[in-house]
Amino acid sequence: MFDAVVRRIAVGGYIDEVPASRLAPLRPAPPAAVAEAEELAGRSLPSLLRQLYLEVGNGGFGPGYGLLGLRDGHRTGGLDALTGLKGGVLTLCDWGCGISSELNLADGQIWGYDPNPAPDGVSCTFPQHMTIVDWFSKWVEGTLYQPWLVQDPTTGEWRGATDTEYAEMIEEAFGPSGPED
């Protein structure tokens, strides 16, 4: 997966929401920044994420507004991946409008956070049912969608949208060609 991510970055436009002309050169994270993150989290980063930070860039590539960096790395809205690191949950990226993707380092699962449609008393955090490898695989393939909190039409429960639901919502909003329509 590491090589696939590097190939995706090499073709340009390595942050989905930022024009290529505005992208800064990538600089790997210093080993001390990775060690600090692992110490704060109380556990090691997943090997793919660790390798990307150490060999590709201290954030600044990937979905949304880019993978958040560690100490002195890529920031979005004043946040880096260590901001709010608590209970072993690392914020991966900002999608805008308060939406983010997070990695639970204890079990390796990706969680979404979407505060926008949730009524009072409903958790804005929900499982995305993927690992960091799945997350980057979907980004490389162009099939990673931002986390989106929806109310299940059958049960009334709030949960993360499935890929199918997300695709249907995009088609309904923009037509069959998507947002470029």
pTM attached to this predicted model: 0.89
pLDDT for 181: 47
pLDDT value of position 15: 74
CATH architecture observed for domain 2-180: 3-Layer(aba) Sandwich (3.40)
Listed by start position, the domains of the chain span 2-180
Secondary structure letter of residue 27 according to DSSP: -
Q: Is the dihedral of CA 149, 153, 154, 155 positive or negative?
A: positive
* Residue 66 to residues 40, 94, 110, 139, 162, Cα–Cα distance (Å): 22, 7, 16, 11, 22
Q: What is the pLDDT along the chain (181 residues), one digit of tens a residue?
A: 999 998 888 776 677 777 666 777 899 999 999 999 999 999 999 999 999 999 999 999 999 999 999 999 999 888 899 887 877 899 999 999 999 999 999 999 999 999 987 888 999 999 999 999 999 999 999 899 999 999 999 999 999 999 899 888 888 888 777 666 4
CA gap 67, 44 in Å, rounded: 18
Residues 70 and 29 sit within 8 Å (Cβ to Cβ): yes
pLDDT, position 36: 95
Q: Say what angle helices 2-10 and 47-55 make with each other, to 10 degrees.
A: 40
Q: d(Cα 14, Cα 4) in Å, to the nearest integer?
A: 12
